[in-house]
Each structure stands twice: as C-alpha cells, then as structure tokens.
Amino acid sequence: MESRLTEPAYLVLLALADGPRHGYAIVQDVLGLSEGAVRLGPGTLYGILDRLVTAGQIEPEREEVVGGRLRRYYRITDRGSGAARAETERLATLAERARTALAGRRTPASEPTPVPRPALGTA
Amino acid sequence: MARVQLPPVPRPQVPDGVSPAFASSVAFWARAYPRRWRATRAAELLGLLADLAEPGARRLDARSALDLLRGGWATRLRERPPFGPWLLYRLFGARSLQDHRPWVADDVAGLLFAARQSLPAVWMLVVIDLGRALDGRQRLTEGVLFWVVVAAVLAFDVLVGSTRRYAIERHLVVRPGERVTAGTWVRVKGPRRRVTAGSALPWAAGAAVAGLVAGAAAVAAAPQTIRVTPNGAGAGPGFTWSGGDVPRMSLVGALLVAAVAGALLAGLVSTRLRRAQMVSVQPDRILHRLDAQNGLAVVLGVTALGAVATAEILGVLPLAISVVVGVVAAVLAPPAVIAWSTVRRTAAADDAALVDVLRLGLLGRAARVDVPGSMLAPALPSEVGEVWPWPWSHEGSTPALG
C-alpha cells in the first residue's frame, strides 16, 4: 500500500492533472488551488517533485529554455492520477462524515441545562 | 597508479535579465543540496528562483534561502546509505556501498573527504592519547612534533590526492562483470595532464624562498642542536637523542656553500631556458594551471616547515630538520626564481609544461613527447546499465562498449 499523500504533494498532483507544468507554473497553480494558503518554497517544491518522481507518480517530460531560463516540465503518470483520485475519494468521504457529524450536533439553545453533580461527601 | 580528474559541477548560465549576483547567491544556498543533485538540477532551480524573485533582485530572499537549506539537507538525509554498510565503508574501506555509488561519488568528491576518511585514525589517536594521560605520561597533543606530523600528512594528502584516488579506484571503478551505474568510474586511456610552468613556478619559487628564510633563521637563532648517541651497554639497543651545542659556523658555512651552488645552478638554468625552445608539440597532452588545491597544499607544507623552524628557534625542538630544509632550499631557490623570471618574460608561460622546463633547465635535455596514459574517468551516460566487459577490454576507450 502506498503511503498517504501530504497536502502539498496532493496539490502538486492536482496542478499537473490537466497537463504538464514547469516548476514556476506548479507553484502558481498550487497557490490558486489552495486559495493562497499553500505557497511552495523552492526546497519544498523540489522535495515533493523528487519524492513523486521516485514513487513513479510524476515524470519529467521535456525541457525548454525561455530567456536563458531552463524550464523542466513534469507530467502526471497513471499511478499519480490514481493516487490523486484515491486521495480525493478519501477527502470526500471524510467531508461527508464531517457533514453528517456536524448536522447531528444540537445547537446550544436546544441543549438541556446540565444537572449539577452532588458535592463530594454529601451523597 | 592511474590519474584522476574530478568532473566539476557545471555552473548554470545566468538567464537574461538576472543579475550575476543573484545567480551567485542561488549557487551559494544551493550548496545545501548534494553535488549530484546540483549537477542535474542547478539550472532548473536558478530558472525557478529567477521567476519567483522580484525584478532586479541581487540576492535570494531569506525565506527561499532557508527553504533551500531545509530542502537540501532533507535530500541529503533521504538519500543517505544505510547505517551498517556506511560504517563498514567509513571505518574499514569496505566496498559495501556498491548500490549507492552516486552517494559515494559525492562523498569522494567532497572538499573535506580526506578529513572524513581520517576520522577513524583521529579516534584511535584520541584513545591512545587518553590512555597515555591516564597512565600519567605526557600527552601526544602537547608536543609540537605531533601537530607538525599531522600538518605534514594532511599537506601530503592534499598535494597528491592519494586518499581520494585510492577511494575512487576502490569504490567507484567498475570491475569486470559489474553493472555500470550512475556515479561509476571507468579506466580508460587518455591524454597526460601537465601543469603549466607559468602557474607552478611562482609557487615553487615562493616555497623555496620561504624554506630558505626559515632554515637560515633557525640556524642563526636555535639555542641547541640535535645530538644522537648510541645507547650504552645495558641500556638496550638503539639511540638516544638530546640537545647539544650548535656548531653555528659550520652550519652557516653549509648554507653558504649551498647558496653558491644554487647561484651557479641558477646561471645554468637561465642560459638553457633562454637558448632553447620551451614549448613542444604534444598531441597527447592537456595543459592546466595549478589549481587551488595544489596551492593550499603548498601553503600547508610551508606552514609546517615554518612551525618546525619556530619550534627550533624557541628551543622546543633541537635544531635538525631546518638545517636540511635550509640547505635544500638554498640550492633550489635561486634556479626557481630565475626560471620563473625567465618564463614569465616569454609568451610560453601558459604554453610550456613545468615538467619540460625542469627537464630543460636542470638536465639540459629536450622535452619528451607524452604518450597516452591510463586514467580514470566518470562513465558516460550511454554506458549506464551496461555490464562492464571482462579484462581484455580494460584500457579500451569507453565508447567501445557498444
């Protein structure tokens, strides 16, 4: 069984889901997907990319030099898509359970007044 | 023994619109990553950081720098070999990391490799020293001679690179029947590497003059000289050394005779170098300038000689080594200075090999034509995955594999 994806790794897989991206585009997509909550630093990004490549979930696709800047594109593999889908299912199930749990919780106004417990030694 | 030349980590080209200072800052912080990682990813990393940086940035921002530090060391930890095989490799030089050749290649290429390899010996010395202290005997580390020996050993190792060369031959050179992996080295025939006279002679002349100054100062000021006497009857075999009076006039005379010999030799060298052609046609030779490592070794060596002379002047050591150093330096310093002075005035400074200048100046003989020699080189990417052929193809050129 493969280890569970961390949130940043999951977001990187989602960023690559609709096509190959280079490092800068991945950082921007992750920022957008997380609504500004996850800003990947360079060390974090390359740590995730290295681990995902080792796990066979993404692979380098091609290189381009734009304005003297080397851009290496990564693409998601079938295994990576499977891992992203599984994580999405897991999160959806968790969200459903959370909704159910929260819906069953009574509001503070409807809760009965707690009965004070007897003082120690008086029972 | 085959020669080795470590492949440098390629520095990425500075992208358009990016300040060279910014590229240098990125290169500095990226050193947190292993050498092999930088060799393949440095250009991509610089491109990403240039995209992320503010326009006109001259240095990497603190947040990104810290993130690179953390990511680099995480990569090093993630890709380290298992502890047991690593210990066998480090302590006993076992070929236990054949599945981790890229890591070993980085380890061997590291600047402090010789120091890391000496750790077991250091621990042994520490244990011996503690044993001596517990036994009430003088500690080794209190003696100047101990530190002189340590400095000399380190200088020798840096100068000839013996520890690194041995490690490459033992751990990285693929043996017949083994599979070539990333980080593997192979034995090939290649051109001889020779250092240029123009870059090496200043160091040689400087070291010789420093040795002469140290030797002369010690001979002039040392309070006592070494005296070696055979052990008497009943004292067991061997010799005892102690301090005695300095035969100063004799030693100064020896230095003067050596200096005169050096001056005569310098005249001869000057005449030979001015009359003969120093540059020869060498199709199987690559000339290179003296590198920083060689310069460091010379500085270490001169420092060790200076420490010995100082110890002799202070009376910590009886005068002995500096006499030999002074005499040798007195003979070599004048021709070295003259050779440097002659070579730098010619256009041949960067085209003549030191070995040819020495042969011509000291022996009066023309340069020998180099033949291809055995050398070690990193395997070509196209060879990775191949099983290295059996001995009859040793020394063949590497593309012959296919």
Question: What DSSP assignment string belongs to B171-209?
Answer: IIBPPTTSBP-TT-EEEEEEPEEEEBHHHHHHHHHHHHH
Is the pLDDT confidence value at B71 over 90?
A: yes
Average pLDDT over residues B291-296: 78
Amino acid B400: pLDDT: 44
The domain boundary residue, chosen from B58, B79, B100: B79
**A31 interaction partners in chain B (CB closer than 8 Å):** none
**B15 interaction partners in chain A (CB closer than 8 Å):** 67-69
Picking from B29, B44, B63 by the largest number of A CB atoms within 10 A of its own CB, the best residue to mutate is B44
The closest CB to that of B17, out of A45, A46, A67, belongs to A67
Domains held by chain B: number: 2
Amino acid letter, B211:
G
Checking B58-61 for CB contacts under 8 A at 24+ apart, the result is B58/B19, B58/B21, B58/B22, B58/B25, B59/B21, B59/B22, B59/B25, B60/B22, B60/B25, B60/B26, B60/B29
The domain boundary residue, chosen from B28, B48, B79: B79
Amino acid B1: pLDDT: 44
**B45 interaction partners in chain A (CB closer than 8 Å):** 42, 46
Question: What DSSP assignment string belongs to B105-122?
Answer: HHHHHSTTHHHHHTHHHH
Q: Measured between alpha carbons, how far apart are the two ends of chain B, in Å?
A: 27
Structural domain includes residue B254: yes
Residues B184-242 have pLDDT tens digits of 888 888 888 888 998 999 999 999 999 999 999 998 888 888 777 776 666 666 666 66
Q: Which residue has the tokens 């001169």?
A: B302
Specify the higher pLDDT residue, A102 or B350.
Answer: A102
The closest CB to that of A24, out of B18, B52, B70, belongs to B52
Contact (CB<8Å) A46/B63 = no
Structural domain includes residue B331: yes
Is the pLDDT confidence value at B395 over 70?
A: no
User: DSSP class of residue B319?
Assistant: B
Q: How confident is the model at residue B26 (pLDDT cuts 50, 70, 90)?
A: very high
**Mean pLDDT lowest for which of B33-42, B61-70, B315-324?**
B315-324
Structural domain includes residue B272: yes
Centroid of chain to Cα B275: 34
Residues B124-141 have pLDDT tens digits of 777 888 888 888 777 777
Distance separating alpha carbons of residues B331 and B266, to the nearest angstrom: 9
Amino acid B239: pLDDT: 65
Structural domain includes residue B56: yes
Same domain, B55 and B199: no
> Which residues fall within 8 angstroms of residue B87, CB to CB, at 6 or more apart?
none
Residues A91-113 have pLDDT tens digits of 999 999 999 999 876 655 555 66
Average pLDDT over residues B40-65: 91
Specify the higher pLDDT residue, B61 or B7.
Answer: B61
Centroid of chain to Cα B150: 15
Distance separating alpha carbons of residues B315 and B302, to the nearest angstrom: 20
**B52 interaction partners in chain A (CB closer than 8 Å):** 24, 27, 42
Q: Which residue has the tokens 């990393």?
A: B45
Same domain, B71 and B199: no
Q: What is the CA radius of gyration of chain B?
A: 26
Share of chain B above pLDDT 70, in %: 87
For chain B, the farthest-separated pair of C-alpha atoms sits apart, in whole angstroms, at 86
> Residue B23: helix, strand or coil by DSSP?
helix
Residues B143-156 have pLDDT tens digits of 666 777 776 666 66
Amino acid B245: pLDDT: 75
Residues B78-121 have pLDDT tens digits of 999 999 999 899 888 888 998 899 999 999 888 778 777 777 77
Which of A 54-83 lie inside 8 A of B, CB atoms?
Answer: 63, 67-72
User: DSSP class of residue B363?
Assistant: I
| Chain B residue with minimum CA distance to A46 | B71
Closest CA to B118 of B183, B172, B162: B162
Residues B295-349 have pLDDT tens digits of 887 888 898 889 889 988 988 888 888 999 999 999 999 999 999 998 888 767 7
Contact (CB<8Å) B71/A72 = no
Question: What DSSP assignment string belongs to B46-73?
Answer: HHHHHHHSPTT--S--HHHHHHHHHHHH
Amino acid B236: pLDDT: 61
Q: With beta carbons less than 8 A apart as the criterion, state whether B210 and B304 touch.
A: no
Q: Is A43 an interface residue toward B (CB < 8 Å)?
A: yes
Structural domain includes residue B101: no
Share of chain A above pLDDT 90, in %: 72
The closest CB to that of A43, out of B12, B44, B71, belongs to B71
Distance separating alpha carbons of residues A52 and A14, to the nearest angstrom: 13
Q: Is A44 an interface residue toward B (CB < 8 Å)?
A: yes
Structural domain includes residue B398: no
- Smallest CA–CA separation between A32 and chain B, in Å? 15
Q: With beta carbons less than 8 A apart as the criterion, state whether B229 and B329 touch.
A: no
Q: With beta carbons less than 8 A apart as the criterion, state whether B179 and B98 touch.
A: no
Q: With beta carbons less than 8 A apart as the criterion, state whether B76 and B34 touch.
A: yes
**B18 interaction partners in chain A (CB closer than 8 Å):** 68-69
Picking from A24, A40, A46, A73 by the largest number of B CB atoms within 10 A of its own CB, the best residue to mutate is A46
The closest CB to that of B71, out of A46, A70, A72, belongs to A46
Same domain, B203 and B329: yes
Amino acid B24: pLDDT: 93
Q: In the A/B pair of chains, how many CB contacts fall below 8 A?
A: 70
Q: Which residue has the tokens 């300095």?
A: B246
The domain boundary residue, chosen from B31, B49, B79: B79
**B78 interaction partners in chain A (CB closer than 8 Å):** 50-51
Picking from A28, A70, A74 by the largest number of B CB atoms within 10 A of its own CB, the best residue to mutate is A70
Contact (CB<8Å) B46/A45 = no
Specify the higher pLDDT residue, B368 or B263.
Answer: B263
Q: Is B176 an interface residue toward A (CB < 8 Å)?
A: no
- Across chain B, mean pLDDT equals 84
Q: Is B44 an interface residue toward A (CB < 8 Å)?
A: yes
**Mean pLDDT lowest for which of B31-40, B108-117, B389-398?**
B389-398
Q: With beta carbons less than 8 A apart as the criterion, state whether A27 and A49 touch.
A: no
Q: Is A50 an interface residue toward B (CB < 8 Å)?
A: yes
Q: Is B102 an interface residue toward A (CB < 8 Å)?
A: no
**B68 interaction partners in chain A (CB closer than 8 Å):** 41-43
Mark residue B315 as left, alpha or beta (left: phi above 0; alpha: psi -120 to 50; beta: remaining).
Answer: left
A7-92 folds as: Arc Repressor Mutant, subunit A (1.10.10)
Distance separating alpha carbons of residues B35 and B41, to the nearest angstrom: 10
Evaluated on CA atoms B378, B379, B385, B387, the torsion sign reads negative
Distance separating alpha carbons of residues B159 and B151, to the nearest angstrom: 12
Is the pLDDT confidence value at B66 over 90?
A: yes
Q: Strand B373-378 relative to strand B3-4: parallel, antiparallel, unpaired?
A: parallel
Distance separating alpha carbons of residues A12 and B277, to the nearest angstrom: 65
Contact (CB<8Å) A67/B72 = no
What is the mean pLDDT for each group of 10 consecutive residues in chain A (123 residues)? 82 95 95 92 95 94 88 95 95 94 70 63 50
Contact (CB<8Å) A70/B46 = yes
Range of the domain at B49: 1-79
Q: Full-prediction pTM beyond 0.80?
A: no
Q: Is B51 an interface residue toward A (CB < 8 Å)?
A: yes
Is the pLDDT confidence value at B352 over 70?
A: yes
Read off the tokens for B165.
């060369």
Q: Which residue has the tokens 């200075």?
A: B337
Q: With beta carbons less than 8 A apart as the criterion, state whether B187 and B104 touch.
A: no
